[in-house]
Amino acid sequence: MDVIKPYFLLFFFLLGGIVSAQTIDSLTQFKKKILESVEVDILMSYYEQEGIHAAVSGGIGNEYLTNYAPTIVVRMPLNEDAILTADVGISAYTSASSSNGNPFNQSGASNRDEDEETPRGNGSSSGSPKGSPWVASTGASAKDVLTTVNIGYQKASDDRNQYWGVNAGGSIEYDYSSLNFGASFAQLWNEKNTEFSLKGQVYVDRWNPIIPTELHEYELFQETFLYNPDSYFSGVSITDDQGNSVAGYLPGNFTSYVTVKRNSFALSLGLSQILSPKLQGAIFADLVVQKGLLSNPLQRVYFQDRENFYIGNFRSIPQYTSFENIDVFHLADDVERLPSQRLKIPVGGRLNYYISEYLVLRSYARYYSDDWGIQSKTLQFELPIRFNLSWKFTPIYRYYDQTAADYFGPYNTHLSSQEFYTSDYDLSDFSSHQWGASLSYRSVLSQLKIFDFGLKSAQLRAQHYTRSNGLSSFIVSTSFKFVLDQ
């Protein structure tokens, strides 16, 4: 009995503890849900751009692109403390630049797309092929659809001072697929005046490389690709700068891809602080490491120390870099080559000031640096002006600049002896200005209903973007937030 007694004491001690804890729990103040009801966001955007530095044709050519992206986001409360989020979207684009993976389709001369596996003979059977970096082709790479799915779970502590989250997702398009997963943690203290957040995200990506037609044929037939009867170039006239028909075109720098993987690891830190009853700010710092195939296999490069070869109307060669050229195309020396590793370090901050009940100033600044030699600065200001409880108008301005990557060179300026090279103007030296506005509506009583969902808010946002190297674009986006009636 003496042996059992301590166990009885321990049992009653634990039982007492449980009863005590339940009593305290029942006395805990009312805990509000972190999300009251199911929310559904329906988002859409239309994007259109124009430019003169198409990367697929080596830094010269038509960059016209359109993109339509409908997305739906559903947030669901699982209980008082947890939310499940599902984010599903598609992004459908047409691109003049990408279309010129095989530029000869515009004439109907090409007998196959650049992504077909089996050749069907040369292009001469349906007339002399011609192409131009300024004219969109009808090749398979002219358009594509990116489908994205992401699922997230977030849980809060009882006192709402800790938040944990996990997420996973993926995306797929014809030549690229990606899986991602991550976890996040946030700690609040100082009466919720201060928050520290930590997030880790891993992307496991894979290319299905699509390469320019001339390099694809070279990869298939090697040195015989100009006369092999199964090659596209069999019987096709290739000319030099003077219009002489020649057989010396040999893109010897090109080698097949050994790796098609691209992995990214991102660590994000955030610290936010309420600075006064009307002012709060945050600083963010990311550390991103990318490894694998970081170049785009479809983007051509031309060497200034190699002879030039063309297909099409040689009389248009003198105006090759002008949009007046509609019928001659410069054959690639190689595709872009970039290092297999990249370290990116962006540091940013937000500062928001509540000027009055009618006016708020939102600002954002970022400094970015990476080991490819790019440094950039970003500044953005938004000024929400509230007319009444429902309507709000927000002017927006954003400035951005960057230095060029160490490996960037314009059209036909690289040397074949270089290890890395690209003529992608997204990696060039430029500055950009983006300005626009948004119009927002908030329904206080959610009176407009679709089934059991009431409209909570709606937003229309339009932006115009100009880049110092000739690219301009505009984007229109909308969002409609619906809330399930309780």
Partner 1 sequence: MKSINGLFLSLMLMCTVSCTVVKEYNKIAINDEDMLLSAVDCERFETNFQIYREAAAGANGGKTGGGCGCN
Segment 6 to 35, residues that bind partner 1, using CB under 8 A: 31-32, 34
**Could you say whether residue 479 binds partner 1 (CB under 8 A)?**
yes
**Could you say whether residue 405 binds partner 1 (CB under 8 A)?**
yes
Smallest gap from residue 277 Cβ to partner 1 (A): 5
From candidates 172, 347, 437, 484, binder to partner 1 by CB under 8 A? 347
**Could you say whether residue 69 binds partner 1 (CB under 8 A)?**
yes
**Could you say whether residue 298 binds partner 1 (CB under 8 A)?**
no
Residue 135's alpha-carbon distances to 30, 115, 322, 395, 404, in angstroms, are: 65, 20, 11, 36, 27
- How far apart are the C-alpha atoms of 58 and 212, rounded to whole Å? 11
Which positions from 210 through 249 interact with partner 1, judged by CB under 8 A?
none
Which regions of 16-115 does DSSP assign to beta strands (E)?
39-50, 65-68, 71-77, 82-95
Assign 3-class secondary structure to 257-306. Answer: CCCCEEEEEEEEEEEEEEEECCEEEEEEEEEEEEEECCCCCCCEECECCC
Determine the size of the site formed for partner 1 (CB under 8 A): 97
Smallest gap from residue 217 Cβ to partner 1 (A): 29
Smallest gap from residue 392 Cβ to partner 1 (A): 8
Which positions from 415 through 454 interact with partner 1, judged by CB under 8 A?
426-427, 432, 434, 438
- How far apart are the C-alpha atoms of 38 and 36, rounded to whole Å? 7
Output the CA angle 393-399-405, nearest 5 degrees: 145
Q: How many CB atoms lie under 10 A from the CB of residue 35?
A: 20
For residues 193 and 259, which CB has a smaller minimum distance to partner 1 in the complex? Answer: 193
Which positions from 165 through 204 interact with partner 1, judged by CB under 8 A?
165, 184, 186, 188, 190-195, 197, 199
Q: Identify residue 331 by its one-letter amino acid code.
A: L
User: Quick one: which H or E segment has residue 18?
Assistant: helix 4-27
Smallest gap from residue 317 Cβ to partner 1 (A): 30
Smallest gap from residue 374 Cβ to partner 1 (A): 5
Which positions from 116 through 145 interact with partner 1, judged by CB under 8 A?
none
From candidates 124, 349, 406, 416, binder to partner 1 by CB under 8 A? 349
Residues 6+ apart with CB under 8 A from 455: 443, 446, 447, 448, 449, 480, 481, 482
Which positions from 256 through 285 interact with partner 1, judged by CB under 8 A?
266, 268, 270, 272-285
From candidates 9, 10, 160, 304, binder to partner 1 by CB under 8 A? 160
**Could you say whether residue 399 binds partner 1 (CB under 8 A)?**
yes
**Could you say whether residue 45 binds partner 1 (CB under 8 A)?**
yes
From candidates 363, 413, 416, 418, binder to partner 1 by CB under 8 A? 363
**Could you say whether residue 391 binds partner 1 (CB under 8 A)?**
no
- How far apart are the C-alpha atoms of 361 and 449, rounded to whole Å? 32
Smallest gap from residue 261 Cβ to partner 1 (A): 20
Structure tokens at 443: 């329904």
Quick one: DSSP state of residue 24?
Answer: H
- How far apart are the C-alpha atoms of 424 and 426, rounded to whole Å? 5
Q: What letters, b where the CB count within 10 A reaches 16 and e where it falls short, cover 77-101? A: beeebbbebebebebebbbbbbbbb
Output the CA angle 247-110-325, nearest 5 degrees: 75
**Could you say whether residue 461 binds partner 1 (CB under 8 A)?**
yes
**Could you say whether residue 410 binds partner 1 (CB under 8 A)?**
no
For residues 109 and 455, which CB has a smaller minimum distance to partner 1 in the complex? Answer: 455
